């Protein structure tokens, strides 16, 4: 029986092998068994989150124990799993080694490979972008199982199931897409929706046992959400987790773009939630990054003209910099120059994609709100206080 509208959330407090294996078995069992997704001999892409080469304890990447448990299930059904992703700037093999994926591949005798060889993704009828190229391996796989990490994101608020599919775009072409969409988070979210429709993963299993909050997706703090979440529809899963993380859907660019397309996942109570968490549950203490473009932006006349002034700037933290030069290498806009552990930003060219922040291995890129944002925020806080005083 199909459970395409269902979400399953299971409580898990750690990465012990027996507990993770039990959760993954429960996931496949709930959705009709591994045989619904894997046929004997079929090639199954396990799309992990390998944004950069970090050890598992940093909680930047999908935990190898999750990958191991899913791969074992695929093997038990006679499938041929392979672990794959395309890091934004790191060399694949050392990055996969640091994340623990190569150990899983060697142990189980399966491939762990880089997503390369870009080919056109057939566009959906409502696609915003008619030509997107993804790795040939994605389109040639018989089944894609999406294995994202549960994290916050400085640019897109959250990076969950749908955002993980951005890794199917090959290597530094991801930075080019950031440049092409410019300052518009909603256009970038539209790209993610196009990827979701074209790739259509059979199942998304999200690693939220220990995820990340704060300055994600790479520079935040490990956060114990204590959940393994799964759905056939990653979009519905993302919206439910957005609410449970304490973020507003109105601040989530992916929700805004989906609502604009009239997708049914935006309707309240559009999915059935099962497992260990009620729909009203929230993860206490989650640090959600302030939206880099304020919600008040659409209310202003000539909003697009204000957007750059209302969006936080990346800034350099010299005391943390190790001079690796990744920030300059990943900047598709050519908006910064690096020399002798000094960065010079050209903010006129900067598109606020925050790739420099995302790829910095030592958190040497931070954010600074513009004076206009601070002024407007102060005015909103003052208005709120006055309203409370009048109500007394």
DSSP code per residue over 32-86: T-GGGT--TT-EEEEEE--SS---GGG--S--HHHHHHHHHHHHHTT-EEEEEE-
pLDDT, residue 296, reads 46
Residue 315 bridge partners (DSSP): 366
pLDDT, residue 200, reads 97
Q: Which residue has the higher pLDDT, 56 or 355?
A: 56
In contact, 358 and 218? CB cutoff 8 Å = yes
Categorize the per-residue pLDDT at 175 as very low, low, confident or very high, splitting at 50, 70 and 90: confident
Indicate the average pLDDT of the chain: 90
pLDDT, residue 293, reads 47
pLDDT, residue 304, reads 53
φ, ψ of residue 383 to 5 degrees: the values are -60, -40
Q: What percent of the chain has pLDDT over 90?
A: 69
> Rounded mean pLDDT of 242-248?
95
Of the ranges 19-28, 283-292, 352-361, which one carries the lowest mean pLDDT score? 283-292
Dihedral-angle region of residue 354 (phi above 0 means left; psi in -120 to 50 means alpha; beta otherwise): left
pLDDT surpasses 70 at 52:
yes
Question: Rounded to two decimals, what is the model's pTM?
Answer: 0.90
Query: Residue 238 and residue 244: Cα distance in Å, rounded?
Result: 10
Q: Which residue has the higher pLDDT, 348 or 257?
A: 257
Categorize the per-residue pLDDT at 294 as very low, low, confident or very high, splitting at 50, 70 and 90: very low
CATH number of 304-390: 3.30.70.20
pLDDT, residue 269, reads 73
Intrachain domains 6-275 and 304-390 with the same fold:
no
- Look at residues 230, 214, 223, 221 and name the one whose alpha carbon lies nearest to residue 277: 230
Categorize the per-residue pLDDT at 2 as very low, low, confident or very high, splitting at 50, 70 and 90: very low
pLDDT surpasses 60 at 126:
yes
Of the ranges 68-72, 222-226, 312-316, which one carries the lowest mean pLDDT score? 312-316
In contact, 148 and 163? CB cutoff 8 Å = yes
pLDDT, residue 226, reads 98
Token pair in block for residue 154: 């400085």
Give the CA dihedral 268, 269, 275, 280, nearest 10 degrees: 60
Query: Residue 255 and residue 186: Cα distance in Å, rounded?
Result: 9
Query: Residue 77 and residue 68: Cα distance in Å, rounded?
Result: 15
Query: Residue 239 and residue 90: Cα distance in Å, rounded?
Result: 30
> Rounded mean pLDDT of 213-229?
96
Other Cβ atoms closer than 10 A to 350: 20
Residues composing the chain: 392
Give the tens place of pLDDT for each residue, 297-345.
Answer: 544 555 555 566 667 789 999 999 999 999 999 988 899 998 888 889 9
pLDDT surpasses 70 at 63:
yes
**Structural domain spans, the chain:** 6-275, 304-390
> Rounded mean pLDDT of 190-207?
98
H/E run at residue 108: helix 101-108
Q: Which residue has the higher pLDDT, 311 or 118?
A: 118
Class of domain 6-275: alpha beta
Residue 145 bridge partners (DSSP): 46, 203
> Rounded mean pLDDT of 199-211?
98
pLDDT, residue 3, reads 54
pLDDT surpasses 50 at 1:
no
pLDDT, residue 211, reads 98
Q: What angle, 0 to 180 degrees and rounded to 10, lies between the N-to-C axes of helices 64-76 and 17-30? A: 50
Q: What angle, 0 to 180 degrees and rounded to 10, lies between the N-to-C axes of helices 173-181 and 185-199? A: 130
Work out whether strand 143-147 and strand 43-48 pair parallel, antiparallel, or are unpaired: parallel
pLDDT surpasses 90 at 25:
yes
């Amino acid at each position: 029986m199909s459970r395409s509208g269902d979400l399953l959330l299971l409580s898990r407090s750690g990465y012990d092998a027996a507990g993770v294996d039990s959760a993954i078995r429960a996931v496949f069992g709930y959705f009709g068994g591994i045989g619904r997704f894997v046929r004997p001999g079929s090639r199954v892409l396990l799309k992990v989150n390998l944004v950069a080469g970090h050890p598992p304890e940093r909680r930047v990447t999908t935990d190898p124990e999750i990958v191991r448990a899913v791969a074992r299930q695929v093997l038990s059904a006679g499938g041929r799993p392979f672990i794959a992703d395309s890091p934004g700037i790191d060399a694949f093999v050392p990055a996969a080694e640091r994340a623990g994926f190569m150990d899983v591949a060697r142990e189980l005798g399966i491939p762990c490979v880089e997503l390369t060889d870009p080919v056109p993704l057939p566009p959906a009828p409502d696609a915003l972008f008619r030509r997107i190229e993804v790795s040939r391996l994605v389109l040639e796989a018989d089944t894609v199982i999406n294995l994202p990490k549960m994290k916050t994101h400085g640019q897109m608020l959250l990076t969950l199931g749908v955002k993980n599919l951005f890794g199917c775009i090959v290597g530094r072409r991801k930075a080019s897409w950031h440049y092409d969409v410019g300052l518009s988070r909603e256009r970038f979210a539209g790209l993610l929706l196009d990827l979701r429709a074209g790739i259509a993963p059979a199942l998304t299993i999200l690693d939220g046992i220990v995820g990340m909050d704060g300055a994600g997706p790479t520079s935040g703090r490990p956060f114990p959400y204590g959940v393994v979440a799964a759905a056939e529809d990653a979009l519905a899963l993302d919206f439910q987790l957005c609410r449970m993380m304490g973020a507003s859907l109105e601040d989530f660019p992916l929700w805004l773009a989906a609502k604009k397309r009239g997708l049914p996942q935006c309707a309240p109570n559009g999915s059935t939630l099962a497992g260990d968490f009620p729909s009203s549950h929230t993860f206490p203490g989650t640090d959600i990054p302030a939206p880099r473009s304020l919600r008040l932006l659409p209310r202003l006349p000539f909003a697009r003209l204000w957007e750059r002034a209302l969006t936080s700037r990346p800034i350099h933290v010299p005391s943390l910099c190790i001079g690796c030069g990744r920030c300059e290498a990943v900047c598709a806009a050519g908006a910064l120059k690096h020399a002798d552990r000094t960065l010079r930003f050209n903010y006129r060219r900067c598109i606020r994609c925050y790739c420099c922040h995302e790829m910095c291995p030592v958190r040497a890129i931070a954010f600074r709100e513009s004076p206009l944002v601070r002024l407007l925020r102060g005015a909103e806080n003052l208005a709120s206080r006055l309203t409370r005083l009048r109500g007394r």
